[in-house]
Structure 1
């Protein structure tokens, strides 16, 4: 009889086709068809982008869900949620408050982080909150986080003394800034989580790199770049790696609220106890929608590979598609695109192919 193994299944989401929980459950189902005796631990992971809030909610079922009404976009209102953990940590997700997926029509110039700032304000004013973890992936805006700062009480004024327009289009109007009436962060401060190292400005910056996926034309990008440049001039701060995350939100929050910036995957792994779970396991399975050379740069899969190697645990990959050849890079795993015959086929019935991948992974042991 085969020895029973402890198998940790800890994927990121497959964006556009399956959540991290769905991915983990489907792989587990397939694995169990082949190796019924193994003990499986499904442990979905995230990197600070869309879905991070729900990942924390699954890991910490006792966390309080706090709902507030926010002014989302162009007078639209919606209900946003943040989590309060038992230790006083508030988990806030920008994508949940005002992310790209909530936009009925993309509006690259006028979309803002104001609703995100309203959620930050709600947490900062809560007496139980000791620190804020702000997950900032999946944004729809390129406003340098100014909308969030305005929601927190900051005033960004034009040369005529009027408040600037919300959105990236208003940044070029900034003449003076007044932080005197801002809500203060909680006693242990606030941290932004992101998985990118882009600068605020330049070819690798927020507007030029991510503007197009938010609907920005070439002309829009010029306007957004000029606005972010004006924000930097007014702030008297230097650009830094990661400043361009979420349309410059990490830069703005650092400028106005003293918010630090950290790797999403690393902080989330620490808060959720991933290291301990890996240490207890015999085999670790991880994956994401697309595996490429950037996967090792602060993303979930790269971090899990690193931790698994540290504890000398065998790692298997399950990915939607891959730009990296597994055998020549000493990687073991399954690529759904290869299984299904095409990317379209893999995405159209991803759960079916994830179950099949689980079977194939179990056969590699």
Structure 2
């Protein structure tokens, strides 16, 4: 137990003591023994005990730095009397102080146990918070996992659907290719049938058009010019047809149906023969009685619209690729590079590209 260094022999409690501020001393005293009021106790942080004060003053005097007289030391008897006035007898104070000290020891044990309790409570609180937080996270993760499974199932279904659509698309493409081949084949057959229906027809281009014209007489005049015997009974029908290009200023073509294909072929052969024998005066409007203007008249087989387009494209292609001959026979188009090359039949525009190779 701590004792007051003033010599009062009374127990020194922590709330009644004052300690010398010098590190070499650190002696404890009752604040009443050194005559310090309780109100000023907290302001005495640099307080020195009487012994240290005397030594300090003596040192200052020896150095000539201080003229302050030495404070009187406290009277031990009066100090004890002053303390006893406040507390009663020393024996009674000793018993009470011992009981207080025991209580303080118990309180210190209690205070020492408080941090452990707080630590336990803090751990439990943290654990509770963590459990709640992780429980919430688990719920969110579980919800996320369910959503992920749902989207995964949707994705798998979409993959199956896309795969099925891809297979269907492949099958449809095969069917489309097959249908396109069939359509081309049917178009070719229809074109052949349509062309066969015109096998007795002959077509005249660039023949001037008049209001009261007689096309039968024109055909008879043509037969006389080319020196081919043709009677009126050989002409089944003779009329003009609608233009393919309505903006064209050329007169409408004349189509003449003869009694049979042989008549048609013989008349065409006579026209070709005449033109070859009269290169400077081929069949023209003047020879057929259409004024004095010698405009050329083009006579050929009556082709279907698709064959006419193919014939025009073939002529353009032949000029670009330096093919000398392009002609039509029995509704079919032929080309020939020169006299030393064989003739090739053109059935489609794509056929032209194969001829170059």
Q: TM-score, normalising length from structure 2?
A: 0.17
Greater RCO between the two (CA within 8 Å, min separation 6)?
Answer: 1
More strand per residue: 1
Q: TM-score, normalising length from structure 1?
A: 0.17
More helix per residue: 2
